[in-house]
Structure 1
Amino acid sequence: MSLSLLVLVFLGGLAAGLPVAVTLGLASVTYLLSAGIPLVVIPQKMYAGMDVFVLLCIPGFILAGNLMNSGGITERIIRFANALVGWMRGGLGLSNVAGSMLFGGISGTAVADAASIGGVMIPGMKKAGYPADFSAAITAASSTVGPIIPPSVPMIIVGALSGISVGKMFMAGAIPGILMGLAMMVTCYIISVRRNFPRQPWQGFQELFRSFTGAFWALAMTGLIVGGLLSGLATPTETAIIASVYAFVVGAFIYRELPLKAVPRIVIDSAISSAAILALVGFANVFGWILVAERIPQMLVDAVLSVTDNKILVILLINLLLLFVGMFMETIAALIILFVPLLALAQGVGIDPLHFAIIAVLNLMIGLTTPPVGVCLFICANIAKLPLTPVIRALVPFLLTNVMVLFLVSYIPGLATWLPSILFD
């Protein structure tokens, strides 16, 4: 009875459009009251879920991304990407993807990418003659590369949940992220040729060099993050703080586009964003504890293994489940609730934990562009001032491309595990 109420309240909250954190909290309270369990469990489990050292990376990377974005990074990255590939057919679309790949190495969140790149590129593409639905679709699709290429907030969450090295996960996401970006660029080019989208004139090597030097300090931030992790001189948490200091210095004193009076507002906005994520982590930990108490994870593992223990089929089933869940649930909540039980299932058939972590994050990133809870989809459609239907229709080729890369990474473990094995082991 208590478990049925938990599920009903949870699904009802999602259907009503309540925030996921609120939905998880209401469902958990309903379960505890119906089961006669003291509500003191809620603050205890919330604190236990948030009291994880590696989660301090989240406010650090969010602050670093916000400082760099307010300090002129978006325009410089787009200018460099445009000089690099903008001369090809559909060049602004290619620049859009390239810009997201470069920006993803700084922000670590898809939503920040969609809002920042989309706010500049979608109006620019429309003005240049690209269809509005295509402009919004490619921006939404490419924004999901951000949390795959290091740094990545979802990977930090996975590390806190499972004990998998965050540094190794950052490196494991590099090749899949680059593959996803290149695949979307190929898709964009094919569509652009077929539909005769505009192209820009080649701006010359002088502009390429000038735009690169302009974006150098922004791009170097990725090198700082990766270098700190690989050298062993800094933990992921320390790297996030170093990145924040670096972002402030570059924005305020090198680019000189970050006014000092704007810093308090940026810090407050970053704190609010971080608090929202950590509140979600806390409530999801309570919800996850209830599921464990009801032995739901073990039942899931037993149910799947009773059907098949074939590794190929289990990977397929996990992918289908996570793609479906990503359509209805926010990424971090889905990871906290499902990652640990699915990890047990994956390890039961011999899947490497690091490989599975990348599979899970890839799946849920794709979910950010699928209705009805695709946050990046909503942001880009809103910027383009379009209803969702035409944007979803234009998004289909990019979704198919991303799913193809997902299955490629799923069935070729070396795409995820080779780089960290070389760099760390």
Structure 2
Amino acid sequence: MIALLFVSFILLLLVGVDVGFAMVAAAWIGIELHGGRGVDAVLLPSSMLSYVSLYALVQIPLFILAGELMNRGGITARLIDWSRALVSGRRGALGHVGIVSNLMLSGISGSAIADAIATGKPLIPAMQRSGYGQSYPAAVIAAGAMLGPVIPPSIPMVVYAQMANESVARMFFSGILPGLLLAAGFFVICSIEARRRRLPADAKATWRERGRQTVRALWALGMPVMILLGIRFGLVTDTEIAAVAVLYAFLVSRFIYRDLPLAAIPALLVSAARASAVILFLLAAAGPFSWLVAESGVSGAIVGTIRGITTDPTLTLLIVNAVMLVVGILMEPLPAMVIFVPALLPIATDLGIDGVQFGALIVINLMVGLITPPVGLLLFVVGSIGDVKFGQVARDVLPFLGWSIVVLVLIAVWPPLTLWLAGHV
């Protein structure tokens, strides 16, 4: 049955069926043929509803809406201006601006694609005009945008927490140190590439100008701090903070920065609703699909295979790393999560691996897949913004990809990297 399930799913994808509909159709075929006899097809809608009926998933549309308000309301622009003043005077400073801007946006939107578009539209053309080449600017923005779902808030972290019955707050905090480590490495890579490529240096901003840009961006900089402190000190729950983020983004954009006209709000709501519907439908489709995967016993087979290789938790995580890297290359993150997380979770349970560390490893693996050829969704996004061929961006992103793999290995071999801050929530 499991072979039929995946063959049906892959064939439907190959003929152009959307991922969510392909999962539903494949699950229906699997249910009808389950155990060699028909099974009541009412399992299909009931299982779909059960996967999206939980209160915690309210965070997904709220964080998406907060990101839309932030981009339209001038918060993103002020963060970019602040980042530019902060790192000015360095050789290749605009590359560093791309990393710093995306790092700050990561603490607000939680979406890699949204961050790539928000920072890529102003920065990629600016870098191209300043002599950074055509493809390197796109590679920098792709690497920086990958941080979006790693630094909290993170939509993939919410999805994993729901599937693995883990705390959303702990999952959020598990990504902070890996995210900062990734950003630090990217910053160093930008410095090395700036010297190797002989990139120009911007004029150094005065301390007065830096202070002015900091004051101008103060409300924008306060948003990620508010989110983290609110969760850390129990002032709000991880679901309530999403609503607070929307309210904060609206008030700052409308009444402080005054860059959000009321006429723009209906379009923002429609855009956020569409993005939310795609994610939630995908989760709903994962319900019956995941149930059939569990019923097939594939999880036990995977656990048995890995246990046949090693019972050491660290080596197991390295194997999972390798598997999920391949998966991340071939599939987009959310479909990959809903298909493979139910099959892989028993490995963590069986070997006593902390579910938060395991989740952080899987999420970051799939984010690395966003900048990994031959699929690399972020590479397509930034390539379209900069009018650059995919192969050129893929070549220039390799140093950032290499550092990302190093961080993944560190997560596997050193649990405190993900668990230290998560243990203080």
Q: Which residue of 1 aligns with 2:7?
A: 8
- 2:180 is equivalent to residue 178 of structure 1: yes
Aligned AA (1:33): E
Aligned mate of 1:143, from 142, 145, 153: 145
Residues 166 and 236, structure 1, Cα contact 8 Å, conserved in 2: yes
Residues 20 and 330, structure 1, Cα contact 8 Å, conserved in 2: no
Q: Which residue of 2 aligns with 1:363?
A: 365
User: How many angstroms does 1:233 deviate by?
Assistant: 2.2
Aligned AA (2:103): M
Q: Which residue of 2 aligns with 1:327?
A: 329
User: How many angstroms does 1:16 deviate by?
Assistant: 4.3
Residues 117 and 382, structure 2, Cα contact 8 Å, conserved in 1: yes
Residues 285 and 337, structure 1, Cα contact 8 Å, conserved in 2: no
Q: Which residue of 2 aligns with 1:273?
A: 275
Q: Deviations over 1:62-106 (max 9, x none)?
A: 111110110012211111111111321111001100100001101
- 2:87 is equivalent to residue 85 of structure 1: yes
**Aligned residue runs from structure 1 range 185-196, under 5 A:** 185-196=187-198
Q: Which residue of 2 aligns with 1:197?
A: 199
Q: Which runs of 5+ in 1 are unaligned?
A: none
Aligned AA (1:275): A
Q: Which residue of 1 aligns with 2:420?
A: 418
- Aligned counterparts of 2:392 and 2:377: Cα–Cα separation in 1: 16
User: How many angstroms does 1:314 deviate by?
Assistant: 0.9
- 2:373 is equivalent to residue 374 of structure 1: no
Residues 149 and 170, structure 1, Cα contact 8 Å, conserved in 2: yes
* TM-score of the two chains, using structure 2 as the length reference: 0.96
**Aligned residue runs from structure 1 range 240-389, under 5 A:** 240-389=242-391
Q: Deviations over 1:313-356 (max 9, x none)?
A: 21111000110111122212222222233232123223221111
- Aligned counterparts of 1:271 and 1:126: Cα–Cα separation in 2: 34
- Aligned counterparts of 2:375 and 2:58: Cα–Cα separation in 1: 27
Aligned mate of 1:69, from 48, 68, 71: 71
Aligned mate of 1:125, from 117, 124, 127: 127
Residues 139 and 393, structure 2, Cα contact 8 Å, conserved in 1: yes
When structure 1 is superposed on structure 2, of 175-184 and 11-20 the one drifting more is 11-20
User: How many angstroms does 1:53 deviate by?
Assistant: 1.3
For the structure 1 residues 184 and 16, does the alpha-carbon distance in structure 2 shift closer, same or farther, using more than 3 Å as the test? farther
Residues 149 and 174, structure 1, Cα contact 8 Å, conserved in 2: yes
Q: Which residue of 1 aligns with 2:111?
A: 109
Aligned-pair Cα RMSD in Å: 1.4
| SS across alignment from 2:150 | coil
Q: Which runs of 5+ in 2 are unaligned?
A: none
Q: Which residue of 2 aligns with 1:394?
A: 396
Q: Which residue of 2 aligns with 1:168?
A: 170
For the structure 1 residues 138 and 18, does the alpha-carbon distance in structure 2 shift closer, same or farther, using more than 3 Å as the test? farther
User: How many angstroms does 1:17 deviate by?
Assistant: 4.9
Q: Which residue of 1 aligns with 2:31?
A: 32
Q: Which residue of 1 aligns with 2:19?
A: 20
Q: Deviations over 1:152-210 (max 9, x none)?
A: 00111111112211111111211110100010111111111111011101011111111
Aligned AA (2:2): L
For the structure 1 residues 23 and 373, does the alpha-carbon distance in structure 2 shift closer, same or farther, using more than 3 Å as the test? farther
- Aligned counterparts of 2:161 and 2:279: Cα–Cα separation in 1: 15
| SS across alignment from 1:122 | helix
Residues 68 and 251, structure 1, Cα contact 8 Å, conserved in 2: yes
- Aligned counterparts of 1:60 and 1:239: Cα–Cα separation in 2: 9
Aligned mate of 1:207, from 206, 209, 212: 209
User: How many angstroms does 1:38 deviate by?
Assistant: 3.3
- Aligned counterparts of 1:206 and 1:13: Cα–Cα separation in 2: 59
For the structure 1 residues 30 and 371, does the alpha-carbon distance in structure 2 shift closer, same or farther, using more than 3 Å as the test? farther
When structure 1 is superposed on structure 2, of 25-34 and 279-288 the one drifting more is 25-34
- Aligned counterparts of 1:107 and 1:413: Cα–Cα separation in 2: 26
Q: Deviations over 1:84-136 (max 9, x none)?
A: 11321111001100100001101011111111111111111111111111011
Residues 135 and 392, structure 2, Cα contact 8 Å, conserved in 1: yes
Aligned AA (1:128): S
| SS across alignment from 1:309 | coil
Q: Percent identity among equivalent residues?
A: 37
- Aligned counterparts of 1:39 and 1:404: Cα–Cα separation in 2: 46
Structure 1: 4+ residue segments shifted above 4 A: none
When structure 1 is superposed on structure 2, of 44-53 and 30-39 the one drifting more is 30-39
Q: How many residues were matched structurally? A: 422
